[in-house]
Amino acid sequence: MDIIESIKNLESRSKLNKHSLIQRMRKEDFTRDQIAIVLGQWFHPLHYFPSFVSRYIGICPDMETKTLMSKLVWQELGEGDPNRAHEKFYIDTMTDVGFSEAEFINVDAFPATVKLVSEYREKSSDDHLASLGYVYATESADLLMVSSIGSAVRRTTGVKRLPWVDIHVTQEPDHTDSVDGAVSNGYITQDYDKVITAADVMFNIWCDFFSQIEMAMDNLPNSFN
């Protein structure tokens, strides 16, 4: 079994894909205040992710992987146009559907959110194999996570078109090709286990992220639960 299949078969990956909040966001109704919690916590990894990938490029010893990752971060940052950066799409999309910036930009991060961003920051400083596992796990789940949030926002606001979701649908095939190419690169042949272990850790960190958000949402007064 190759490394990609090994990561796809991780129990932690299945756990994230089936996470109760991700599933609920795809079909249940939430209050506006509940969705604001999701948006506020999501902003933190969204904001830091391009820095994480850029720092990973800096410590990666392999030119082919650097090139593959550079396309990913180039798209994240707008393909040369700051107005097309994912963070800008996110802010514009959510303010256009009625959320104020104060509700979801730089709000206090939950402990699980702090942990998520801290892991990106620490591993991209000195561990290129862990960073590769982290970026692979994130990108392999990214479209599911984004589309689930988008589904919840659509039902809550009644707005159908969400440019932040649309840009992910357009670019995700490129992101997937980049991370698949990176983990399939021959230079890590002897270190597959380290990459797989890191991906496993990151899937679990994302599960904790959504679990803490779900708990906060369900504990809000006047929630639907």
- Domains of the chain and CATH, by start: 10-218 (1.20.910.10)
Q: In this model, does residue 1 exceed pLDDT 60?
A: no
The predicted pLDDT at position 130 comes to 93
The predicted pLDDT at position 187 comes to 63
**Side chain identity at residue 85, one-letter code:** A
- Around 194, how many Cα atoms within 13 Å sit in the side-chain half-sphere? 12
183 band by pLDDT with thresholds 50, 70 and 90 = confident
Q: pLDDT for 34-88, tens place per residue?
A: 999 999 999 999 999 999 999 999 999 889 999 999 999 999 999 999 999 999 9
**Which whole number is the average pLDDT over 181-186?**
80
Q: pLDDT for 127-154, tens place per residue?
A: 999 999 999 999 999 999 999 999 999 9
User: What is the spatial distance between Cα 206 and Cα 120, in angstroms, rounded to a whole number?
Assistant: 12
109 and 179 in contact (C-beta within 8 Å)?
no
Q: In this model, does residue 221 exceed pLDDT 60?
A: yes
The predicted pLDDT at position 225 comes to 55
Q: In this model, does residue 213 exceed pLDDT 70?
A: yes
Average pLDDT of the chain, as a whole number: 94
Measured between alpha carbons, how far is residue 225 from residues 20, 127, 211, 220, 222 in Å? 13, 42, 15, 9, 8
Over its C-alpha atoms, the chain yields an Rg (Å, rounded) of 17
- Characterise 109 by phi-psi region: left (phi > 0), alpha (psi -120 to 50), beta (else): beta
pTM of the shown model: 0.94
**Which whole number is the average pLDDT over 153-165?**
97
The predicted pLDDT at position 40 comes to 98
Handedness of CA 141, 45, 102, 161 (dihedral sign): negative
